[in-house]
Amino acid sequence: MSHKKCQSISCDVASCSFNDTLENSCTLSAIKVTPKMNCATEDIDESMCASYKSRALVDR
Ligand code: SF4
């Protein structure tokens, strides 16, 4: 069973060019999440969005 059609990605990372800051959501249909190197906190900071693209770099 696939839920892909009704998935949404909530995200508060306003500095990312894919972020809809009004909706606090990601405008991509899918993202890649990767483990953070050398991090073993057993907490949420062990993962990061690998699809991130800096809004500042895109606006240049
Ligand atoms: S690409 Fe990642 S960091 Fe950027 S808005 Fe989407 S979920 Fe957030």
Quote the pLDDT of residue 58.
77
Cα of 40 from ligand 1 centre, angstroms: 22
Place of tokens 């306003």: 14
| Alpha carbon distances (Å) from 56 to 14, 16, 17 | 11, 8, 8
Q: How far is the CA of 34 from the centre of ligand 1 (A)?
A: 12
**49 in ligand 1 pocket by Cβ < 6 Å?**
yes
Q: Can you give the pLDDT at residue 27?
A: 97
Is the CB of residue 10 less than 8 Å from the CB of residue 24? yes
Chain centroid to Cα 12, Å, comes to 8
Nearest atom (ligand 1) to Cα of 51: 1
**Domain range list for the chain:** 7-58
**Three-point CA angle 8, 51, 44, nearest 5°:** 75
Rounded average pLDDT over 16-27: 98
State if residue 52 touches ligand 1 by the CB under 6 angstroms criterion.
yes
